[in-house]
């Protein structure tokens, strides 16, 4: 079980936060998406989503491009190659953790 | 806030445009409305063709409005380009649809509707392509509408000869197109409601249809 805790401690906390995990999961499935889509999908408020995106951008996980569509401001967000690798690694880590904890449960006497 | 599960997030992101059910509404309405004008076929040229052209223009305008609505309210997504298998399936579906249409037009007294069966199969294949992405628990209504079209297609085999006359159609082909149009329109509206229900942001901001 110690190994499980060690792995838990090694999780990327930037991505592991639920809202950012949702954002990164969504972005990893598309080429790019706008701010409204991410807001609808995650249910986050404008301020919250902006903060999370700023943190992800600072870490080089996402690329943010501001522009105009039909004379209205539009922000498109895409995941970077590094971001994609990080989210894939993260899901693999979580899956490994799940398997480890299941194995540990089975090994416990009833 | 009830955050959706990662599998649901991935499902919505991957199938974003497919889940926007209202996009199929103009096609359903076109099928339904054009078959209503079929009775004008013996009328002189302008009256025969003008209503159908107007229906097509109205449907194109409706589609444009729906596209605008989805982009404005639910956001824009640039999806990963479709794979070769998807395109092959679409081409095969289109070719099968055309073949079924001509088969039904050439042999109007078949005891089943080939076009209806192809339409039903296309809805079911579309659903399987969606469901294949994650689990089969999303979009439960979609296959039900496909099965309903399939059921209409085999009604003569079940003893309901000339069922299309009860909905005012002269032939099985017209009746099938009319019924499929209505079912597709209903499927589009139901899918849209399901899509809105899936998004936590919509529930939070009280946005619906």
Could you say which of B9, B78, B80 has the minimum Cβ distance to residue A41?
Answer: B9
What's the count of helices (H) and strands (E) in chain A, helices before strands? 6, 3
| A75–chain B Cβ distance below 8 A for any pair | no
Tell me if chain B has a CB within 8 Å of the CB of A109: no
| Mean pLDDT for all residues in chain A | 86
Q: Which residue has the higher pLDDT, B33 or A110?
A: B33
- Do B9 and B133 meet the contact criterion of CB atoms below 8 Å apart? no
pTM for the complete prediction? 0.80
Start-to-end Cα distance in chain A: 17
Shortest CA gap A50–chain B (Å):
15
Q: A32-96: which CATH number, 2.40.440.10, 1.10.10.10, 3.40.1190.20, 3.40.50.300?
A: 1.10.10.10
DSSP A54-85: HHHHHTTSEEEEEEEETTEEEEEEEE-HHHHH
Least confident of A6-20, A91-105, B164-178: A6-20
**Residue B81 DSSP label:** P
What is the crossing angle of helices B84-106 and B172-198, to 10°?
150
Instruction: Give the span between the Cα atoms of B63 and B61, in whole angstroms.
Output: 5
Residues B89-117: tens digit of each pLDDT: 889 989 999 999 999 888 888 889 999 99
For residues B36 and A58, give the distance between their C-alpha atoms in angstroms, rounded to a whole number: 59
Compute the distance between CA of residue A91 and CA of residue A86 in angstroms, rounded to an integer: 9
Structure tokens at B48: 């025969």
The per-residue pLDDT for range A29-67, each reduced to its tens digit, is: 999 999 999 999 998 999 999 999 999 999 999 999 998
Q: What angle do CA B155, B158, B163 make, to 5 degrees?
A: 35
- B76/A36 Cβ within 8 A: yes
CA distances from B30 to B20, B22, B83 (A): 18, 13, 29
Query: Which residues in chain A have Cβ-Cβ distances shorter than 8 Å to B6?
Result: 21-22, 25
- Min distance B201 CA to chain A CA atoms (Å): 4
| CB-based contact A30 B202, cutoff 8 Å | no
Q: How far apart are CA B48 and CA B31, in angstroms?
A: 16
**What value of ipTM does the predicted structure carry?**
0.80
Tell me what pLDDT residue B61 has: 97
Residue B39 has pLDDT above 80, yes or no: no
Contacting residues of A for B195, CB less than 8 Å apart: none
Interface check for B76 against chain A (CB to CB < 8 A): the answer is yes
């Amino acid at each position: 079980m110690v190994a499980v805790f060690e792995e838990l401690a090694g999780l990327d906390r930037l991505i592991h936060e639920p809202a950012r995990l949702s954002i990164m999961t969504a972005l990893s499935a598309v080429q790019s998406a706008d701010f409204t889509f991410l807001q609808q999908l995650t249910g986050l408020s404008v301020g919250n989503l902006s903060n999370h995106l700023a943190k992800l951008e600072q870490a080089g996980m996402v690329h943010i491009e501001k522009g105009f569509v039909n004379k209205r401001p539009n922000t498109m967000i895409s995941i970077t190659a590094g971001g994609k690798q990080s989210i894939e690694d993260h899901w693999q880590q979580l899956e490994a953790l799940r398997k480890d904890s299941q194995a540990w449960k089975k090994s416990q006497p009833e | 806030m009830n955050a959706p599960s990662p599998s649901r997030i991935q499902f919505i992101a991957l199938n974003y445009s497919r889940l926007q059910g209202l996009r199929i509404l103009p096609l359903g309405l076109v099928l339904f409305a054009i078959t209503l004008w079929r009775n004008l076929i013996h009328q002189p040229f302008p009256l025969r063709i003008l209503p159908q052209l107007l229906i097509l223009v109205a449907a194109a305008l409706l589609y444009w409005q729906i596209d605008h609505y989805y982009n404005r309210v639910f956001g824009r997504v640039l999806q990963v380009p479709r794979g070769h298998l998807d395109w092959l399936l679409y081409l095969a579906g289109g070719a099968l649809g055309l073949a079924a249409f001509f088969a039904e037009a050439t042999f109007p007294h078949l005891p089943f509707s080939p076009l209806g069966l192809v339409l039903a199969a296309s809805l079911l294949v579309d659903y399987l392509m969606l469901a294949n992405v994650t689990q089969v628990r999303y979009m439960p209504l979609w296959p039900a509408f496909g099965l309903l079209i399939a059921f209409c297609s085999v009604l003569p085999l079940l003893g309901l000869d000339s069922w299309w006359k009860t909905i005012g159609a002269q032939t099985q082909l017209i009746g099938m197109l009319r019924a499929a149009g209505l079912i597709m329109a209903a499927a589009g509206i139901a899918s849209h409601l399901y899509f809105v229900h899936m998004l936590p942001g919509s529930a939070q901001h009280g946005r619906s249809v």
